[in-house]
């Protein structure tokens, strides 16, 4: 049986028929609400705000919100409102990230900062944060607090990334940044879904922990795709992180074990420490990194985070939603394979 578009894009297998129907209906409603929320009285705001919505995306966060709601009353309107909140927050952060990273491609399309300029991109990100805040206010004070704390972690994670490890272990620093920048919002997706469905604090805590762990695993898998995949799969140019000097999981694993005295390692170190604006140099760096044994360590790190996420699911009652969450852990690992 076919899965919903979002579930399929995450590599999930066929879902239980009733769960598939619930997710399809929920994601359809979320999409309609999203398009309403990115509409402004000012045409340029609407055009720029719809840019990433129209480009698509996995809708990972709304999907997790809807799955978490399956442990309570998934039909509540508040559940879909919460799913819109987390996706709006995610989209807003992408507009800001693309400016800071000077990105040129997002979801297979020109990034907003390229198309509309940095100033408009930043302001549209603020516009989407405002729309998310307006919608979360309807969910009550606790939801507002959760959203505010999540926003704080997103900002702190970005600042920590900008500052760098400052003499600490670069890989551990990077994982902490991901927990803030990526894991925190995915954790909130699970928490809001459970709470708005009335699933209870115990279930919400489980899904919060699960969300953060699987969120980090998901981003680590993206890091591998930047090196091992192509733009048609990853939605951005191959080696974008390398070209921009952003050291993600594959490079950090390589640097941990690199031997500067070894000619092969030495050459890759020289490439990574040099200017990768040149297409030939970038292609060589990607090829050498793909072939290096450090990629095995990087894959193991993805599996470690996914396994930790799966272990968190143990207290939950057996049901199709739990099976889907478990399958998501396997899909994240497969995505990076």
Between helices 77-101 and 118-137, what is the axis angle to 10°? Answer: 160
CATH architecture of 200-336: Orthogonal Bundle (1.10)
- Which one is the CATH code of 15-165: 3.30.1490.20, 3.40.50.300, 3.40.640.10, 1.10.600.10? 1.10.600.10
Share of the chain above pLDDT 90, in %: 75
Q: What residue spans in the chain does CATH classification 1.10.600.10 cover?
A: 15-165, 200-336
The burial of 129, by beta-carbon neighbours within 10 Å (0-12 exposed, 13-18 middle, 19 or more buried), is given as: buried
**DSSP state at residue 176:** H
Q: Write out pLDDT tens, residues 230-242.
A: 654 545 578 888 9
Provide the residue-wise pLDDT of the chain in tens; the chain has 337 residues: 345 666 776 777 778 899 999 999 999 999 999 999 999 999 999 999 888 888 877 899 999 999 999 999 999 999 999 999 999 999 999 988 888 776 666 666 677 877 888 899 899 999 999 999 999 999 999 999 999 999 999 999 999 998 999 888 999 999 999 999 999 999 999 999 999 999 999 999 999 999 999 999 999 999 999 999 865 454 557 888 898 888 999 999 999 999 999 999 999 999 999 999 999 999 999 999 999 999 999 999 999 999 999 999 999 999 999 999 999 999 999 887 7
pLDDT given at position 232 = 46
Q: Write out pLDDT tens, residues 117-164.
A: 889 989 999 999 999 999 999 999 999 999 999 999 999 999 999 899
The answer to whether 89 and 143 have CB atoms below 8 angstroms apart is: no
**CB neighbours of residue 202 within 10 Å:** 12
Report DSSP letters for 288-311, one per residue. HHHHSTHHHHHHHHHHHHHHHHHH
Q: How many residues does the chain have?
A: 337
């Amino acid at each position: 049986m076919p899965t919903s578009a979002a579930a399929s894009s995450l590599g999930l297998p066929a879902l239980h028929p009733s769960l598939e129907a619930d997710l399809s209906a929920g994601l359809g409603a979320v999409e309609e609400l999203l398009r309403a929320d990115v509409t402004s009285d000012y045409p340029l705001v609407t055009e720029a705000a719809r840019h990433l919505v129209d480009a698509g995306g996995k809708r990972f966060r709304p999907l997790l919100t809807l799955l978490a709601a399956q442990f309570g009353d998934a039909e509540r309107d508040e559940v879909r409102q919460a799913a819109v909140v987390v996706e709006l927050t995610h989209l807003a952060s992408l507009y800001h990230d693309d400016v800071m990273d000077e990105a040129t491609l997002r979801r297979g399309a020109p990034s907003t900062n390229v198309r509309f300029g940095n100033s408009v991109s930043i302001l549209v990100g603020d516009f989407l944060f405002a729309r998310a805040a307006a919608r979360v206010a309807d969910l009550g004070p606790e939801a507002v607090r959760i959203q505010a704390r999540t926003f704080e972690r997103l900002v702190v994670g970005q600042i920590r990334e900008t500052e760098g490890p400052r003499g600490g272990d670069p890989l551990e620093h990077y994982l902490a940044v991901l927990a803030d920048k990526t894991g925190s919002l995915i954790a909130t997706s699970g928490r809001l879904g459970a709470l708005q469905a009335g699933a209870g604090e115990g279930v919400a805590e489980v899904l919060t922990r699960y969300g953060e762990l699987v969120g980090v695993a998901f981003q680590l898998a993206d890091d591998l795709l930047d090196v091992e995949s192509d733009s048609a799969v990853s939605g951005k140019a191959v080696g974008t992180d390398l070209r921009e000097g952003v050291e993600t999981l594959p490079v950090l694993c390589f640097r941990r074990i690199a031997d500067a005295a070894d000619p092969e390692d030495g050459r890759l170190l020289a490439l990574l420490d040099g200017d990768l604006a040149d297409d030939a140099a970038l292609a060589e760096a990607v090829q050498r990194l793909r072939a290096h044994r450090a990629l095995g360590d990087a894959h193991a790190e993805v599996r470690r985070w996914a396994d930790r996420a799966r272990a968190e699911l143990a207290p939950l009652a057996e049901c199709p939603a739990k099976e889907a969450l478990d399958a998501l852990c396997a899909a994240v690992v497969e995505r990076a394979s």
